[in-house]
Amino acid sequence: MARRREVSRIEGFSDSVFAFAITLLVVSLEVPKTFAELVQTMRGFPAFAVCFLMLFQVWWRHYTFFRSYDLEDPFVIRSTGALLFVVLFYVYPLKFVWSMSFGSVEGRPVTAMIATSQIPLLFVVYGAGVIAVFGILALLYRYAYGQRDRLQLSATERIDARVRLWSNTAIAGWGVVSMLLALVLGRTAPHLIALAGYVYFGIGLSEWLLVRYRGRMCRRLNTASTSPA
């Protein structure tokens, strides 16, 4: 249930930073002057689309926090500042990773963008960004859940707070797994280094499990509320 009615200054500032981050992702700031330049620009569209969706997902989780909980104290402001800093810092690594990924799908040699020996470090940098972004979001939701009595959260809202906390924690956890795999495989089996990227498909599994958990808890709650005394 949404509790905020007006957009606060910290929310307005956050929206501006996310908008600027998306601007940094734009394929080209100049209008193509020839058809060849247009084709070259369009090649970057898939990577831009994925990066845009990922930033939108982060923005949505942050937006949901402020819409759901009327919290704007020093902890929330500091955490939001840290989140925005990380988002801006990792825009270019995010764009680089997905430009490289789609470039390899199109048949362009990856070695033109990065040396094979540098790929493990790239996964470590990318994983650190995932851990930082979703770790901060998890801390925000953990803080909100800790304030559940003061916020007078309903039983359903408490379930949602737990699910959102675990969702962000799980995504940060997949980042940890990816980093560890990159460090280990980079030394022992470089030919398997792509597994450090495929690990992120596990996010779909953890989200599916949490959706099932939420549904089960809500059904149990409804059953308890409708049972005769």
Q: Is the pLDDT of residue 51 over 70?
A: yes
Mark out the alpha helices in the chain (DSSP H runs).
9-25, 35-43, 45-68, 74-89, 91-105, 119-146, 148-151, 155-188, 195-198, 202-226
Task: Identify residue 177 by its one-letter amino acid code.
Answer: V
Widest distance between CA atoms in the chain: 75
Select, from the ranges 64-78, 116-130, 166-180, the one with the highest average predicted confidence (pLDDT). 166-180
Mean pLDDT, residues 32-40 taken together: 77
Distances (CA, A) of 182 to 8, 119, 124, 126: 41, 8, 7, 11
- Does this model's pTM top 0.85? My answer is yes
Distances (CA, A) of 108 to 98, 122, 143: 13, 18, 46
The tens digit of pLDDT for each residue in 159-188 reads: 999 999 999 999 999 999 999 999 999 999
Which tokens in the block code for residue 7?
């957009």
The residue extents of the domains of the chain are 9-226
